[in-house]
Chains A and B, each alone.
Chain A
Amino acid sequence: MTSLAEKKLPRVSARSGRPAPELIFGDLWEFDPSPETADPKLKTRYDLFIDGQFVAPKLGKYFDSINPASEQKLAEIAQASAADVDAAYQAAKAAYDNVWGKLPGRERAKYLFRIARLLQDRAREFAVAETLDGGKPIKESRDFDVPMAAAHFFYHAGWADKLDYVAPGRKVAPLGVVGQVIPWNFPLLMLAWKLAPALAMGNTVVLKPAETTSITCLKLAEILQDAGLPPGVVNFVTGAGDVGAAVLNHPIPAKIAFTGSTEVGKIIMRSLAGTEKKMTLELGGKAANIVFDDAPLNQAVEGIVNGIFFNQGHVCCAGSRLLVHEPVAEQVLTKLKNRIKVLRVGDPIDKNTDIGAINSKEQLQKITAMVASGVKEGAEMFQPACRLPAKGFYFRPTLFSGVSMSHRIAREEIFGPVLSILTFRTVDEAIERANNTAYGLSAGVWTDKGSRILKMSTELKAGVVWANTYNKFDPASPFGGYKESGFGREGGRQGLLDYCKLS
Chain B
Amino acid sequence: MDAIGIEERVAKYGTRSIKKAAKLRGLKLAASMVDLTTLEGKDTPGKVASLCQKALCPHDPELGVPQVAAVCVYPAMVKHARKALGSDTVVRVASVATAFPSGQAPLKTRLAEVKAAVADGADEIDMVINRGAFLSGEFGVMQDEIRAVVEACGQATLKVILEVSELETYDNIRAASFLAMRVIREGDFIKTSTGKTSLNATLGNNQVMIEAIRDYYLDTGISIAMKPAGGIRTAKQALTFLIAIKETLGDAWLNHSRYRFGASALLNDLIRQIEKEKTGAYQAPYYFSEATESY
A and B touch in the complex (CB under 8 A): yes
A: which residues have CB within 8 A of B? 1-2, 4-6, 8-11, 14-15, 18, 21, 23-26, 28-34, 139, 143, 296, 298-300, 302-303, 334, 338, 342, 351-352, 468-469
User: Which single member of A18, A29, A33, A342 contacts B29 (CB below 8 Å)?
Assistant: A29
Q: Would you call B17 and A5 a contact (CB within 8 A)?
A: no
Binding stretch for chain A, among B67-75, B158-166, B188-196, B247-255: B247-255
Q: Would you call A334 and B218 a contact (CB within 8 A)?
A: yes
Nearest to B137 among chain A residues (CB) is A1
Q: Would you call B254 and A28 a contact (CB within 8 A)?
A: yes
Q: Would you call B21 and A32 a contact (CB within 8 A)?
A: yes
Q: Would you call B250 and A32 a contact (CB within 8 A)?
A: no
Q: Would you call A29 and B252 a contact (CB within 8 A)?
A: no
Tell whether A15 pairs with B29 under 8 Å between CB atoms, given A25-B250, A32-B19, A352-B16.
Answer: no
Q: How far is the CA of A351 from the CA of B18 in the complex (A)?
A: 9
Q: Would you call B18 and A34 a contact (CB within 8 A)?
A: yes
Q: Which residues of B contact A33 (CB under 8 A)?
A: 19
User: Which single member of A24, A139, A352 contacts B252 (CB below 8 Å)?
Assistant: A24
Q: How far is the CA of A148 from the CA of B254 in the complex (A)?
A: 36
Could you mark each residue 199-216 of chain B with 1 if its beta carbon is under 8 Å from any beta carbon of chain A, else 0?
Answer: 000000000000100111
Q: Would you call A14 and B172 a contact (CB within 8 A)?
A: no
Q: Which residues of A contact B221 (CB under 8 A)?
A: 14-15, 18, 21
- CB proximity of B134 to chain A, nearest CB, Å: 10
User: Which single member of A1, A29, A32, A352 contacts B251 (CB below 8 Å)?
Assistant: A29
Q: Would you call A29 and B254 a contact (CB within 8 A)?
A: yes
Tell whether A28 pairs with B16 under 8 Å between CB atoms, given A1-B175, A5-B178, A303-B5.
Answer: no
User: Which single member of A28, A30, A299, A303 contacts B1 (CB below 8 Å)?
Assistant: A299
User: Which single member of A26, A34, A296 contacts B250 (CB below 8 Å)?
Assistant: A26
Nearest to B134 among chain A residues (CB) is A1
Q: Which residues of B contact A351 (CB under 8 A)?
A: 15-17
Whether B217 sits at the interface, judged by CB under 8 Å, is yes
Q: Would you call B2 and A299 a contact (CB within 8 A)?
A: yes
Pick 28 A–B contacts, CB within 8 A, sort by A.
A1-B171, A2-B175, A5-B139, A9-B182, A9-B219, A9-B220, A11-B219, A14-B219, A18-B221, A21-B217, A23-B214, A23-B218, A25-B246, A25-B247, A26-B251, A28-B251, A29-B25, A29-B29, A29-B242, A32-B19, A34-B18, A139-B15, A299-B9, A302-B9, A338-B214, A342-B246, A468-B4, A469-B4
Q: How far is the CA of A352 from the CA of B13 in the complex (A)?
A: 10
Q: Which residues of A contact B250 (CB under 8 A)?
A: 23-26
Tell whether A10 pairs with B220 under 8 Å between CB atoms, given A302-B9, A469-B5.
Answer: yes
Q: How far is the CA of A352 from the CA of B242 in the complex (A)?
A: 15
Q: How far is the CA of A28 from the CA of B247 in the complex (A)?
A: 12
Residue from B172, B178, B219 having most chain A Cβ neighbours under 10 A: B219
Q: Which residues of A contact B247 (CB under 8 A)?
A: 25, 342
Q: How far is the CA of A179 from the CA of B252 in the complex (A)?
A: 56
User: Which single member of A5, A10, A143 contacts B219 (CB below 8 Å)?
Assistant: A10
Q: Which residues of A contact B92 (CB under 8 A)?
A: none
Whether B20 sits at the interface, judged by CB under 8 Å, is yes
10 A-B pairs besides A10-B219, A29-B25 with CB distance below 8 A are: A1-B171, A6-B178, A21-B221, A23-B214, A28-B251, A298-B5, A338-B214, A351-B17, A469-B2, A469-B4
Q: How far is the CA of A300 from the CA of B9 in the complex (A)?
A: 11
Q: Would you call B5 and A21 a contact (CB within 8 A)?
A: no
Q: Would you call B175 and A296 a contact (CB within 8 A)?
A: no
- CB proximity of A38 to chain B, nearest CB, Å: 13
Whether B174 sits at the interface, judged by CB under 8 Å, is yes
Q: Which residues of B contact A300 (CB under 8 A)?
A: 5
Residue from A15, A21, A342, A468 having most chain B Cβ neighbours under 10 A: A21
Q: How far is the CA of A299 from the CA of B174 in the complex (A)?
A: 13
Q: How far is the CA of A421 from the CA of B221 in the complex (A)?
A: 27
- CB proximity of B178 to chain A, nearest CB, Å: 5
Q: Which residues of B contact A8 (CB under 8 A)?
A: 182
- CB proximity of B2 to chain A, nearest CB, Å: 4
Q: Would you call A32 and B249 a contact (CB within 8 A)?
A: no
Q: Which residues of B contact A139 (CB under 8 A)?
A: 15
Tell whether A2 pairs with B171 under 8 Å between CB atoms, given A139-B15, A299-B6, A352-B17.
Answer: yes
- CB proximity of B147 to chain A, nearest CB, Å: 15
Tell whether A29 pairs with B219 under 8 Å between CB atoms, given A143-B15, A302-B5, A352-B17.
Answer: no
Could you mark each residue 237-269 of chain B with 1 if its beta carbon is under 8 Å from any beta carbon of chain A, else 0?
Answer: 000001000110111101000000000000000
Q: Would you call B2 and A31 a contact (CB within 8 A)?
A: no
Q: Which residues of B contact A6 (CB under 8 A)?
A: 175, 178
Q: How far is the CA of A18 from the CA of B186 in the complex (A)?
A: 15
Q: How far is the CA of A334 from the CA of B214 in the complex (A)?
A: 12
Q: Which residues of A contact B284 (CB under 8 A)?
A: none
Q: How far is the CA of A31 from the CA of B178 in the complex (A)?
A: 32
User: Which single member of B175, B216, B252 contacts A23 (CB below 8 Å)?
Assistant: B252
Nearest to B181 among chain A residues (CB) is A9
Q: How far is the CA of A211 from the CA of B242 in the complex (A)?
A: 42
- CB proximity of A485 to chain B, nearest CB, Å: 26
Q: Which residues of B contact A5 (CB under 8 A)?
A: 139, 174-175, 178-179
Q: Which residues of A contact B139 (CB under 8 A)?
A: 5
Nearest to A21 among chain B residues (CB) is B221
- CB proximity of B264 to chain A, nearest CB, Å: 25
Whether B26 sits at the interface, judged by CB under 8 Å, is yes
Q: Would you call B22 and A468 a contact (CB within 8 A)?
A: no
Q: Would you call B252 and A468 a contact (CB within 8 A)?
A: no
Q: How far is the CA of A265 from the CA of B3 in the complex (A)?
A: 39
- CB proximity of A333 to chain B, nearest CB, Å: 12
Tell whether A29 pairs with B5 under 8 Å between CB atoms, given A14-B221, A34-B17.
Answer: no
Q: How far is the CA of A6 from the CA of B182 in the complex (A)?
A: 10
Q: How far is the CA of A34 from the CA of B4 in the complex (A)?
A: 28
Q: How far is the CA of A2 from the CA of B15 in the complex (A)?
A: 30
Q: Would you call A468 and B2 a contact (CB within 8 A)?
A: yes
Q: Would you call A32 and B211 a contact (CB within 8 A)?
A: no
Q: Which residues of B contact A25 (CB under 8 A)?
A: 246-247, 250-251
Q: Which residues of A contact B1 (CB under 8 A)?
A: 2, 296, 298-299
- CB proximity of B175 to chain A, nearest CB, Å: 4
Q: Which residues of A contact B21 (CB under 8 A)?
A: 32
Q: How far is the CA of A21 from the CA of B179 in the complex (A)?
A: 20
Q: How far is the CA of A299 from the CA of B9 in the complex (A)?
A: 8
Could you mark each residue 9-39 of chain B with 1 if its beta carbon is under 8 Å from any beta carbon of chain A, else 0?
Answer: 1000001111111110110010000000000
